[in-house]
Amino acid sequence: MVVQGAQVVGRVAALLRLVGRKPEGTSLAGLVRESGLTRPTVHRLLASLAAEGFLEHDSSSGKWVLGPEIFLLGSVAAARFPMEDIARPSLRRLATETGESAFFSIRRGNETVCVLREEGSFPVRSFVLHEGVRFPLGVASAGTAILAFLPAEEQEALLAEWAEHAGDFSDGHPADVVRENLEQTRLAGYSVNPGLILEGSWGMGAAVFDQQGRPAWALSLTGIEPRFRPERQEYLGKLLLEEAHRMTARLQGTS
């Protein structure tokens, strides 16, 4: 998987992903911490990425943010990944129908990345999840919904080295809790995150399947605990599954 003689490419990619996590930008020190690289190296790579227009350095805040070239390349790439067109209507329906915030996440390797958000009308909202945020598979409702429907051996591979895979999240997500959660998800069809990431901040998710029948994306809803009591879960789950089925059908149909 790893290509010889391209160390920097990996480092650059990691830095771009880290910067992309926070729309408001990240400081040099933060990136040094999160990347594990030395400061001079991070600084040089950031500066050269900025010279290429892939990043920008907000001189007032000193933070680094994604630059115009990323936006431009992204617009071109979006033609091959018409997620916006396909997912947005479902998100709108979910958000207006339930009042919660609705999200569309995409699987990328052993992570999920949140791509789209649609705010609900309910006045208390959680900001744990937003565009660009990444979670390890099995963490958060979207990643649980996806992991639950991956081939058993892939699930086992991740669970076998769970602490390493889940990183900072392994504290709040012990492997046995996750196992139980995946089992529940397979039974119900949808996943429930009972505030495991942030107390009181609940979520539910349902997987969307690609043409090969693999769970590649997920729809999810987030909100506060009182809005996710058991009696309402069934209703929310039904809505999520409905929209997930609709998207899956649409994606099977295309091409």
Partner DNA sequence: AGATTTCATCCACATTATGGACAGCATCCA
Partner DNA sequence: TGGATGCTGTCCATAATGTGGATGAAATCT
Site membership for DNA, residue 11 (CB under 7 A): yes
Nearer to DNA, 17 or 43 (CB): 43
Tell whether residue 41 is a contact of DNA (CB under 7 A). yes
Q: CA-CA-CA-CA torsion for 14, 18, 21, 25, nearest 10 degrees? A: -140
Q: If DSSP codes are grouped into helix, strand and coil, which group holds residue 154?
A: helix
77 contacts which partner out of DNA, a copy of itself, none, CB within 5 to 8 A by kind?
a copy of itself
From the list 3-11, 83-91, 205-213, 238-246, the region that binds DNA by CB under 7 A is 3-11
The Cα 151–Cα 130 span in angstroms is 28
Give the Cα separation of 131 and 157 in Å (integer): 28
Q: Does 14 bind DNA (CB under 7 A)?
A: no
Q: Which is nearer to DNA, 13 or 78 (CB)?
A: 13
Q: Check: CB of residue 128 under 8 Å from CB of residue 221.
A: no
Question: Which amino acid type is present at position 209?
Answer: F
The count of residues in the chain is 255
22 makes contact with DNA (CB under 7 A): no
From 17, 25, 37, 184, residue interacting with DNA (rule: CB under 7 A): 37
Q: Are 240 and 206 in contact (CB under 8 A)?
A: yes
Instruction: Say which entry of DNA, a copy of itself, none residue 51 contacts (CB below 5 to 8 A, set by partner kind).
Output: a copy of itself
Interaction site with DNA (CB under 7 A): 4-9, 11, 27-29, 32, 37-41, 43-45, 47, 57, 62
